[in-house]
A and B are shown apart, each in its own frame.
Chain A
Amino acid sequence: GAGVSQSPSNKVTEKGKDVELRCDPISGHTALYWYRQSLGQGLEFLIYFQGNSAPDKSGLPSDRFSAERTGGSVSTLTIQRTQQEDSAVYLCASSFQPGRGYEQYFGPGTRLTVT
C-alpha cells in the first residue's frame, strides 16, 4: 500500500519568507511525527500528534515553527520568517499507535534550503 508521502521534495526559499511542508501519513495510522535532520546530524524531534489529543510540541526550536494536523490525517509544518539555520531535511513519520513496540514509517523528506 501507499507509504508516507511528503511534499514538496525540495524547497528553496529566501530568508524571511514563510514555508509550508506537507505530510500525508499512512491511512489508519493515529500517530504522526515531525523530525528535522541537519547535514551530518541525527534526527531532531520536533512535534508529535496522536489522534485528537493536544500535540506534543516540546521539540519545536522556536515560536516560528508550528504544525497542525487536520482531520487526524494530513499534517502541515509551517516555518515563519525562515532563517538560514532552518535549512535541513524535514522528515515526517507515522505509526499505527504511539510509542512502545510500534515502528515509525518515514516519508522521503522535504529538503529545505534557505538562501
Chain B
Amino acid sequence: AQSVTQLDSHVSVSEGTPVLLRCNYSSSYSPSLFWYVQHPNKGLQLLLKYTSAATLVKGINGFEAEFKKSETSFHLTKPSAHMSDAAEYFCVVSDRNNNDMRFGAGTRLTVKP
C-alpha cells in the first residue's frame, strides 16, 4: 500500500522568502501525487498534481513541485512567500492499483511579516 511522509509538521518563513515543504512517498507502482492546501476554516483545495507527465509541476498561487523518483520525493516550493500562503498543506499519493488516496499528516506553514 502507498503512504506519504511529510517531514516537517510546522514550517515558518518570513514574507518574501522561499518556501520548501517536504514530502516523501512510498508506492508499489507509478504513483500520482498531489498537494492540497487547507486555509483556516476552509475546505481543502488542490494546489497541483503529478500524473506521470512532466516531472516539474506548476500549480496555483505560484507553487510548484518536482517529482523525483530516485529520491521518492515530491517537495513543494514557492520562490517568495506571501502572508496569504499561511495554511495547512497536505501531500497525497494515489496508487493506480488502489482506489483511495493516502494523505500525509500535514505541514502547517506560518508566514511572518
Contact = CB atoms under 8 A, between A and B. Distances in A.
A10 to B, nearest CB: 12
Interface extent on A, as a size class?
Answer: 20 to 34
A46 B31 CA distance: 21
Interface extent on B, as a size class?
Answer: 20 to 34
Given A91-B44, A106-B43, A109-B43, A99 B49 contact: no
Interface string B82-103: 0000000010001110111111
A104 B99 contact: no
Given A42-B105, A109-B43, A99 B99 contact: yes
Interface of B: 32, 34, 36, 42-46, 49, 51, 90, 94-96, 98-106
30 contacts: A35-B103, A42-B90, A42-B103, A42-B105, A42-B106, A43-B90, A45-B100, A45-B101, A45-B103, A48-B100, A50-B99, A59-B100, A91-B44, A93-B44, A98-B99, A98-B100, A99-B94, A99-B98, A99-B99, A100-B94, A100-B96, A101-B51, A103-B34, A103-B46, A103-B49, A104-B46, A106-B45, A108-B42, A108-B43, A109-B43
